[in-house]
Amino acid sequence: MPLVLSLRDVSFAYPGGPRVLGGVKLDVAPGEFVTIAGPNGGGKTTLLRVALGLERPDSGEARLFDAPADRVGDRWRIGFLAQRTRLGIEAPATVREVVSAGRVARRGLFRPFGAADRRAVDGAIARVGLEELESVPVQRLSGGQQQRAFIAKALAGEPELLVLDEPTAGVDVDAQEALGAFLGELHRDLRVTILYVSHEFGAVEEFAERVVLVRGGIVFDGRPSDLPAHWHDPSHVHP
């Protein structure tokens, strides 16, 4: 079965800046739950951008769904929850409206919203437990509920790869733990491939199959149980 993601000897530097990544090799198979962690400035977000085809490596190769990452056509195959995802301050969009927007990449911008789209939106809202709040403006939800609404938006496109970039930023510890448990359940039920990117990974350590620590390159790639104790805080990671 083709890999979801493959990075081969990837190096990258932003124009005029020092090298951010060097010699990165990473394979992610279908159905894996992988945490990419590391200190702020260590390169994990850059690695993610290269992996998703948003940046082209200076050397090496990045492949996504067995195609060059920057030329993947079916972008609906990726459900993406960006850092600090939020609506505009005055946006009145409800949970259902936000989740419905997640179908655009799958159905196309101009195709009418059909029965399959409604079923997918209903299923995504139910999956995150927001059925009773679907008519409520997202602004009025708690931080954890907003997070779930945006995860539902990502799920509405029925992606094969779910990517979460710093999803615990700005939410309390209880919400972080609830998110970890929810993602574990989601992975078990749907077997969707998950990339969870964060400077810390305590919320998902129990559920992730692999932890990849990044500091200019990959300094650890293995099971959370095999991670040296002093590396549980990625700010202490050394090459």
Name residue, tokens 């399959």: 116
Report which secondary-structure segment, H or E, holds 120.
Answer: helix 115-127
What's the pLDDT score for residue 234?
65
Name residue, tokens 């590391």: 38
Q: What are phi and psi of 135, to 5 degrees?
A: -95, 5
pLDDT of 85 above 60? no
Strand partners, 37: 198, 213
Residue-range domain boundaries for the chain = 5-236
pLDDT of 109 above 70? no
How much of the chain exceeds pLDDT 90, in percent?
Answer: 58
Considering only residues 22 and 178, tell me which one the structure prediction assigns the higher pLDDT.
Answer: 22
Question: Tell me: the pLDDT tens digits for 167-177?
Answer: 877 677 887 88
Residue pair 131/57 in contact (Cβ under 8 Å)? The answer is no
Superfamily of domain 5-236: P-loop containing nucleotide triphosphate hydrolases (3.40.50.300)
Taking the alpha carbons at both ends of the chain, their separation in whole angstroms is 32
Residue pair 197/36 in contact (Cβ under 8 Å)? The answer is yes
Provide the b/e sequence for 56-75 (b: ≥16 CB within 10 Å). ebeebebbbbeeebeebeee
CA distances from 217 to 27, 92, 175, 193 (A): 14, 42, 30, 22
Question: Tell me: the pLDDT tens digits for 2-44?
Answer: 899 999 999 999 999 999 999 999 999 999 999 999 988 899 9
CA distances from 187 to 65, 80, 200, 218 (A): 19, 15, 19, 24
From 23-37, 53-67, 102-116, the region with the lowest mean pLDDT: 102-116
Name residue, tokens 């005029």: 16
In 10 A of CB 30, how many CB atoms?
A: 15
Strands (E), the chain: 5-13, 19-28, 33-37, 59-64, 67-68, 78-81, 161-165, 193-198, 210-214, 218-222
What's the pLDDT score for residue 195?
96
Q: What is the mean pLDDT of the chain?
A: 88
What's the pLDDT score for residue 91?
63
